[in-house]
A and B are shown apart, each in its own frame.
Chain A
Amino acid sequence: MNLLDLFGYLIDLLAVLLLALGLKGLSNVRSARSANGLAALAMGLAVIGLLLQEQPSLTGWLWIAVGTAVGGLLGLITARRVPMTAMPETVALFNGCGGMASLLVAMAVALYDSGEADLVAKVSIVISVFVGAITFTGSIAAMGKLQGWLGTPSWTQSSVRHGVNIALAIAALVSAIYLPADPTGSPLWLLLVASSLLGIGVTLPIGGADMPVVISLLNSYSGVAAAAAGFVVGSQLLIVAGAMVGAAGLILTQVMCTGMNRSLVSVLFGGALGGSAHVGGGGDEAGYTRIVSCSAEECAMALETAERVVFVPGYGLAVAQAQHALRELSKLLEAKGAEVSYAIHPVAGRMPGHMNVLLAEADVPYEQLLEMETINPEFPRTDVVIVLGANDVVNPDAKNDPQSPLYGMPVLEVDQARQVFVVKRSMGAGYAGIKNALFELPQTAMVFGDAKAVLQQLCSEVRSAG
């Protein structure tokens, strides 16, 4: 070991330390941004440390530069360009590429560098290919579903899919068993194909509402894939960082499931919530009997006299890009002396925390975003609640009706407020396809229209009245 090597090892250790501190800091609002920078710094250090130890040749440098330029540039552009509303699919895309990288490394070693590979290396290659392929195809399928490119085929809602997935899993297992005997032959390719299809087969049946959980789980997988790649190339830093992300991702997945009152098992194997009978039935007015609808003017009149207003933003708000109009309206109401706050359900938006990001983008003060536990006791003394593109998270059936599929899910108790306006495009069902008892309550009125258009109308009404 020469001095340069020693220096490289020390940098490695420092990188692990900074990565751990970064991951820890990311779970606290105050430190999150600097923690993210710290983690990025750690990554840079790790790369420098590796280059010091490995000392690539001129050809090596060339190929490193090519990969760096292409990947880095594309990453830079994507991160800059992507709209905040598309965050879940962006994370899925990045994640899939991470899985792909681990997969390629393992394939490359298996095909061209397995000369001195022992059993450990072969097992690592199997794990890396298996998990990497699932991460890649699963993430891309998740992204496709979130973007609306992929639907939920009807066969995936029947028990056929379990048969298909089990067959794929068995194929992967068999090829994994035969791979050590024939490291470059057909078992490797069978493993690759079976794992890739398995990733799609597992992700495709899952409904849109559960997709964040899946992405979080796939994120955990990409950590596992990185750790496996660490075994393949013999890098302890890679193992430790991959294991860290894998474990942290599992915890995060668990936290998200708890917030949505879903178990991981039912997300993965239960199919789209609401059962096959409801799927695809876009939903119309069927089932609702006592719906009162009102115009934006009437809603504005109620707002003008209200002293305490709570907005409940949901994914519909994000889709309509209405967060800026919402901020505008709340400024007007505050100018009139009303107390305005925002009730944020843990899974508002399409990912936990997604709504906070979107509202922060529209300059909503952080203190006005209230979490469910804080805001629920406040609803009885709230004059007007405006629900914007949220549905299942305000469904009182989750508390009252043990028959409801939502029963037990923590919800915002907006039915306690004096007056509730629900801004909605149509009477279509929510993600879960479940009837919402809130809409039929006597204090509830529906304001039909696009969230942004309605909010702008409300703004001009309130402005002209004052």
Chain B
Amino acid sequence: MSSLSQALWVLLLGSLLGLELIGKVPPTLHTPLMSGANAISGITVLASITLITKADGNPALLILGSVSLGFALFNVIGGFLVTDRMLAMFSRKKSGGGR
């Protein structure tokens, strides 16, 4: 049971952290922030990999793990890249005065 209470503490503190981190966001950044946070939620890749490594040769687990890894990585890679594409447009404005 100690691992459960540990996990619940982690859940609680993680939630509080999330509430605190996003305090004041300028509207400019709402879309990139949503997209970036969305990429982070693809952290399910970890669960997918765990599933595969713990599969112990069970083909159903291997396949489901691999498919879910694909979905999660689509979320992660796509999410971070698209966020970067959006944010690159803002930062170019600040430094690229000479263009």
| Contacts from A to B (Cβ < 8 Å) | 19-20, 22-24, 26-30, 32-33, 35-37, 39-40, 43, 46-47, 50-51, 54-57, 59-60, 63-64, 66-68, 70-72, 74-76, 78-80, 82, 84, 87-88, 90-91, 94-95, 97-98, 100-105, 107-109, 111-113, 120, 215-216, 219, 222-223, 225-227, 229-252, 255-256, 259, 344, 346-347, 349, 351-354, 356-357, 360-361, 363, 365-366, 369, 371
Known: A101-B68, A236-B10. A36 touches B84 (CB 8 A): yes
Inter-subunit contact B32/A40 (CB<8 Å): no
Residue-wise interface mask of B (17-45) relative to A, using a CB-CB cutoff of 8 A (1 in contact, 0 not): 11101111111111111111111111111
Inter-subunit contact B86/A67 (CB<8 Å): no
Inter-subunit contact B44/A226 (CB<8 Å): yes
Known: A27-B23, A32-B87, A244-B18. A98 touches B42 (CB 8 A): yes
Inter-subunit contact A47/B46 (CB<8 Å): yes
Inter-subunit contact A235/B21 (CB<8 Å): no
Inter-subunit contact B27/A353 (CB<8 Å): yes
Residue-wise interface mask of B (59-99) relative to A, using a CB-CB cutoff of 8 A (1 in contact, 0 not): 01111111111111111111111111111111111100000
Distance from B10 Cβ to chain A, minimum over Cβ atoms (Å): 5
Distance from B84 Cβ to chain A, minimum over Cβ atoms (Å): 6
Q: A60-B55, A75-B79, A252-B37 are in contact. List 9 more A-B contacts (CB 8 A).
A: A23-B36, A37-B84, A43-B43, A63-B66, A94-B38, A97-B42, A226-B44, A247-B15, A349-B31
Distance from A164 Cβ to chain B, minimum over Cβ atoms (Å): 28
Known: A23-B22, A238-B46. A68 touches B73 (CB 8 A): yes
Known: A39-B40, A80-B81, A111-B60. A216 touches B34 (CB 8 A): yes
Distance from B71 Cβ to chain A, minimum over Cβ atoms (Å): 4
Alpha-carbon distance between A40 and B26 when the two chains are bound, in angstroms: 22
Inter-subunit contact B6/A236 (CB<8 Å): yes
Residues in B whose Cβ lies below 8 Å from that of A346: 27
Known: A40-B80, A105-B48, A360-B93. A23 touches B18 (CB 8 A): yes
Known: A43-B43, A232-B47, A242-B14. A27 touches B21 (CB 8 A): yes
Main secondary structure of the interface of A (DSSP, over half): helix
**Most-contacted residue by chain A among B14, B61, B88 (CB, 10 A):** B14
Residues in A whose Cβ lies below 8 Å from that of B41: 95, 98, 219, 222-223, 225-226, 241-242, 245, 249
Inter-subunit contact B44/A94 (CB<8 Å): no
Distance from A83 Cβ to chain B, minimum over Cβ atoms (Å): 11
Known: A22-B40, A238-B43. A231 touches B7 (CB 8 A): yes
Interchain Cβ contacts within 8 Å, total number? 398
Inter-subunit contact B15/A54 (CB<8 Å): no
Inter-subunit contact B34/A252 (CB<8 Å): yes
Alpha-carbon distance between A37 and B79 when the two chains are bound, in angstroms: 11
Inter-subunit contact B32/A32 (CB<8 Å): yes
Alpha-carbon distance between A219 and B66 when the two chains are bound, in angstroms: 23
| Contact count band on B | 35 or more
Known: A23-B21, A94-B38, A353-B28. A104 touches B7 (CB 8 A): no
Q: Can you list 10 contacts pairing A with B, beta carbon distance less than 8 Å?
A: A20-B21, A29-B90, A32-B87, A43-B45, A59-B57, A63-B63, A71-B73, A230-B46, A247-B17, A250-B19
Inter-subunit contact A75/B18 (CB<8 Å): no
Distance from B51 Cβ to chain A, minimum over Cβ atoms (Å): 6
Least CB separation from B1: chain A residue: A120
Distance from A95 Cβ to chain B, minimum over Cβ atoms (Å): 5
Inter-subunit contact A239/B75 (CB<8 Å): no
Alpha-carbon distance between A102 and B45 when the two chains are bound, in angstroms: 9
Inter-subunit contact A108/B38 (CB<8 Å): no
Inter-subunit contact B14/A75 (CB<8 Å): no
Alpha-carbon distance between A252 and B79 when the two chains are bound, in angstroms: 17
- In the complex, the 10 A-B pairs of residues with the closest C-beta atoms, listed nearest first: A247-B18, A67-B69, A243-B14, A71-B73, A75-B77, A75-B78, A71-B70, A352-B30, A79-B81, A104-B68
Inter-subunit contact A107/B48 (CB<8 Å): no
Known: A109-B51, A365-B93. A222 touches B14 (CB 8 A): no
Q: CB of B3 within 8 A of chain A?
A: yes
Residues in A whose Cβ lies below 8 Å from that of B10: 236, 239-240, 243
Residues in B whose Cβ lies below 8 Å from that of A56: 49, 52-53
Alpha-carbon distance between A51 and B10 when the two chains are bound, in angstroms: 22
Residues in B whose Cβ lies below 8 Å from that of A26: 29, 32-33, 36-37, 83
Q: Which of B32, B37, B50, B92 contacts A50 (CB 8 A)?
A: B50
Residues in B whose Cβ lies below 8 Å from that of A215: 34
Alpha-carbon distance between A87 and B79 when the two chains are bound, in angstroms: 11
Residues in B whose Cβ lies below 8 Å from that of A237: 43, 46
Residues in A whose Cβ lies below 8 Å from that of B45: 43, 47, 101
Inter-subunit contact A244/B15 (CB<8 Å): yes
Inter-subunit contact B81/A76 (CB<8 Å): yes
Alpha-carbon distance between A43 and B44 when the two chains are bound, in angstroms: 10
Residues in B whose Cβ lies below 8 Å from that of A219: 34, 37-38, 41
